[in-house]
Structure 1
Amino acid sequence: MRQNSRNKEKRVEILLESDTSFLNKMVTIFKNLTNFEKDCRSLFETNINATKKMLKEVSAPGKQDTYPWRNINRLYRETDVWTHNGKVNTWEQATDKFELFKTKAVNFTKKFKMEDSTIVFDQFLKLNQDAITLKQFYEINQTAIYMILKDHDKDTKLNACEGLPFFVNTDFFSDNACKRFTYEITHSLLNIIPDPEKYSCPICQELAYKPIRLNCNHLFCLKCLIRAQKKNLDNCPVCRAKDAVKNATSKNLDKKLLNILTTDFPREIRARKKQLKEITQQQELEEAREMAAQPVSFKESEEENCIIM
């Protein structure tokens, strides 16, 4: 191939036979890596399914280790091993956060009373370590392959570095495999542990005791709904569904969920009842003070208009 640029002439020779051999070897490497990823995925799924069964037993409501596991679940999510500010962590960043999690988790694991809890926690740590190791393997090999292809492109003036991965049926050049593993840990596995935060009222951010489910399907605690109705806030605070709050009645009480909350979160329910009692007493005291400060009036007070009450 010749290039003419004014009086300069450049000749580039490409040995197609050698390039074909090189690219075929790269394709073989990709296929081997893909097969390796499939084997890892199969083993990982087997291990995580076994861990799920045991975790469900030790973290179930009423078990001796229910609350230590809930604290571990909360700590793991707060540590955010796999992401940071919406971006996926590198394997080094994930390792640092994972070590931080292990250090803090000791405060909860030392409260285990069931031998199986220790076994499950060790399995949980191994699943995370396996995912980090696989992530490290991917990132190092991705970098190495890109460097090899880049050097090849520099010598041959081809564009294999960008083009070749698109012609090979593999997830190796994406984070899909690692994302699947981390998703299984953070969602499929840990979601087994009952979490009271899933049932929090979006207004007060507390456990939705006596949960009211609006017609738009959003959930609120009874206390906040009564307050919203008194203030004539007719629409849903979340989705703005028209008159969803206004039309809520005692029929909107989610009795099935109330039973679940009472069974799964007895400690939180007791704390919430105590909190609501204190809030009510404080409100009554403030209302009494306001009435005492007002001048005497013979006008009949208007009754509060609250459908739920």
Structure 2
Amino acid sequence: MKYGKQFEQLNEEFPEEWQEKSIEYKHLKKLLTDVVEELNTIGLNKSKLLDLLLRKTEDTHIEYVLDGPLNQPQPRLIVQFNDDESKEEWLSLYNLQKGSSGLDEITASTSNIDLDKQKEDHIEEIFTQGADPANKEIHINLTADAKFLGALTAAFDKLEELQMVEKNKFAAQVETLCNAITGVTGPGASHHSALGLHKKKSNDLYAWREIFTLWVESAIYEGITEASRGERDVASAEKRLNAFAAEVVKRGLGDSRTMKSKRSRQALDQFLELNMALLEIKKFYTANLEAARKILKKHMKMTALPTDAFYSFAGVEGSALQSATSSSNSNFGWTFYTISLPRVLLARLTETLIPIIPSIDDYNCLICQEIAFKPIRLNCSHIFCVRCLVKMQKRGQADCPLCRAPVVLAANKDNLDQALVGYMELWFPKEVRAKAKANDKEAQREHMAESGIEDVSCTIM
């Protein structure tokens, strides 16, 4: 199946308002045919034009340039020559063009020439009226190419508008979801019993923490390892999203076993829907970026006109076939083409959602790798759990394990971070209870050992 048909079928899967903003690939192909016909009319078929474009130091040389505003490119060919043989060749060529489309599409630039008079006199006067031969050049406006590039840039403008709409829409949805999750996971969250009584929420915080951990580890849209770093393609992202959703169901994270609050289960549905919406946006913009690259590549292939000229006109340096998300495209006139919208939305989702549920990893003691309860903030600002601090002091270790500041032996009860104690008790109640229990057991064993009592388990005979 031809690409144009594939793109058309894929486009039909998207919302109607998206389809209206999509690149009209078939229409651009028709306009491209007109560009080829226009060049052939003036005697510049693909091979001839390519030969002239590649000449850098010879007597006759052509340059393809674009002027005008970004959304209305004005392409033209500048023909430079300085010998009689080239003059005769171009006289013949443009007399031919004059008969088919007139001199309205041709302007010539040499010293001491009245441009208005050129349109009235025979084209040969352009070459002969007292100009310095080394500076002669002819400018040919490419009307059909202007229509093609105008249609393409108009499509880019529409995609740019849609990007802003979807970005704002997505941001609002993320904010709504944030509020919903905060309402069912915060320390003061509660749910209703069957009798209509308020009950303290006990499970939703840990369910959402597990969901977010699983979501991050799934690396649905971007690789997180050195080997897989970078934005994933649509097929890979879709596969990973399906696997994530299946794992959520498998663990029972979306039902009443783990989520006691109905609002929490509704928020999970919203979270999954938001991920699906992100995937659809990724599909749409990937398809349109591919269509844009293909039509520009076809433009170069069918006409020999260098696509680099369009990229340079739009503010990009480098190869015309470079990746649309390359950092070297940072000055490109349309941000949809240079900045991955899915990546922007993913960043918004990650930066907004993940911080609302604190991660245990951010509050672990760097020595025992368990929650730093009770947290002792040394004078160097580093935090360790009280048990690890006591052990360091008993060993006579004076320096902080992280910064080597001599602050360990000076720590006392005043270094206990009371605010952080309360924060940990609110957000990590299970871990705090487990740590407190483990601390008590360890302290008891140490006390018995210091008293000469052997720690022996009781045996029932």
Normalised by the size of structure 1, how large is the TM-score?
0.81
Check 1:195–1:10 CA distance in 2 against 1; reply closer, same or farther (3 A cut): closer
Letter in 1 for 2:436: K
1:63 aligns with 2:201: yes
Check 1:95–1:281 CA distance in 2 against 1; reply closer, same or farther (3 A cut): farther
Check 1:188–1:149 CA distance in 2 against 1; reply closer, same or farther (3 A cut): same
- 1:18 is aligned to 144
Check 1:175–1:94 CA distance in 2 against 1; reply closer, same or farther (3 A cut): farther
Letter in 1 for 2:428: F
Identify the match of residue 120 of structure 1 among 267, 270, 276: 267
Greater than 4 Å deviation, 4+ residue runs = 9-15, 281-291
1:157 aligns with 2:306: yes
- 2:159 is aligned to 33
Cα deviation for residue 138 of structure 1 reads: 1.8
User: Is the 1:51–1:120 Cα contact (8 Å) retained in structure 2?
Assistant: yes
- 1:97 is aligned to 240
Whole-angstrom CA distance in 1 between matches of 2:55 and 2:344: 51
User: Is the 1:150–1:161 Cα contact (8 Å) retained in structure 2?
Assistant: no
Cα deviation for residue 81 of structure 1 reads: 1.9
Cα deviation for residue 233 of structure 1 reads: 4.2
Query: Which residues of structure 2 form unaligned runs of 5+?
Result: 1-48, 65-76, 78-140, 188-199, 317-330, 455-461
Whole-angstrom CA distance in 1 between matches of 2:442 and 2:310: 65
Q: Alpha-carbon deviations, 1:3-54, whole Å to 9, x = none?
A: 669x9x9989956333333222222222111110100011111211111111
User: Is the 1:213–1:220 Cα contact (8 Å) retained in structure 2?
Assistant: yes
Check 1:179–1:214 CA distance in 2 against 1; reply closer, same or farther (3 A cut): farther
Q: Alpha-carbon deviations, 1:230-283, whole Å to 9, x = none?
A: 444444333x25224344333221110101112222221111112223334555
Cα deviation for residue 134 of structure 1 reads: 1.0
Whole-angstrom CA distance in 2 between matches of 1:178 and 1:274: 46
Cα deviation for residue 182 of structure 1 reads: 0.9
Q: Tell which deviates more after alignment, 132-141 or 152-161.
A: 152-161
Letter in 2 for 1:77: V
Query: Which residues of structure 1 form unaligned runs of 5+?
Result: 292-309
User: Is the 2:222–2:230 Cα contact (8 Å) retained in structure 1?
Assistant: yes
1:266 aligns with 2:429: yes
1:218 aligns with 2:367: no
Identify the match of residue 393 of structure 2 among 220, 229, 236: 229
User: Is the 1:72–1:105 Cα contact (8 Å) retained in structure 2?
Assistant: yes
- 2:179 is aligned to 53
User: Is the 2:174–2:352 Cα contact (8 Å) retained in structure 1?
Assistant: no
Check 1:288–1:83 CA distance in 2 against 1; reply closer, same or farther (3 A cut): farther
Give identity over the alignment, percent: 28
Check 1:156–1:109 CA distance in 2 against 1; reply closer, same or farther (3 A cut): same
Q: Which has the higher contact order (CA 8 A, sep 6+)?
A: 1
Cα deviation for residue 133 of structure 1 reads: 1.2
Normalised by the size of structure 2, how large is the TM-score?
0.56
What is the number of residues matched between the two proteins? 289
- 2:254 is aligned to 109
Whole-angstrom CA distance in 2 between matches of 1:17 and 1:251: 80
Whole-angstrom CA distance in 2 between matches of 1:138 and 1:165: 21
Please give the secondary structure, in 2, of the residue aligned with 1:109: coil
Identify the match of residue 408 of structure 2 among 220, 229, 245: 245
Whole-angstrom CA distance in 2 between matches of 1:219 and 1:58: 30
Whole-angstrom CA distance in 1 between matches of 2:361 and 2:401: 18
